Amino acid sequence: MKFGRNKFFKRKARPLIGVDIGSHTLKVVEFGINGDSRVLRRIGRALVPRNAIQEGAIKDPEALEEALKTLIQNLQPKIRRAATSVSGYSVIVKKINVPYSDEREIEDNLIFEAENYVP
């Protein structure tokens, strides 16, 4: 993955859907655009099916998929672009020291460090 200033730090805001798969609840939000800012348009949530997630791992992906499809159908989002993230034991955290400097130098340092760790 190549990090570049235009791609990583200076992205123009676009409408998107955020999906959060928690251990007990599925959450979906839709963000629209107002000027340069994102605004919340829709929000929905549903219970995770019983035993679909156990000890932080997805054990029944079909049940989870069906619950997520139903939630999205009920929410009726206007867009299809989604943002996701990974948390818990699947995440590797690397702390780095960045010397105090101006914003551009901090961005350059972060891009350089990220290229060393992101495959």
Burial environment of residue 28 by CB neighbours within 10 A (0 to 12, 13 to 18, 19 or more): buried
* Chain segment 4-35, per-residue pLDDT in tens: 444 545 567 788 899 999 889 999 999 988 88
44: number of CA atoms within 13 Å, CB side?
A: 18
Q: Whole-prediction pTM value?
A: 0.64
Between 47 and 94, the more confident residue is 47
Q: Per-residue DSSP letters for 41-107?
A: EEEEEEEPPTTSEETTEES-HHHHHHHHHHHHHHH--S---EE----GGG---------S--HHHHH
**CATH number of the 5-117 domain:** 3.30.420.40
Report pLDDT digits (tens) over 70-111: 999 999 988 888 887 777 766 667 777 777 778 888 888 888
In the chain, domain spans? 5-117
Which residues lie below 8 Å from residue 7, measured CB to CB, with a gap of 6+? none
Nearest CA among 1, 5, 16 for reference residue 104: 5
Residue 82: per-residue pLDDT: 85
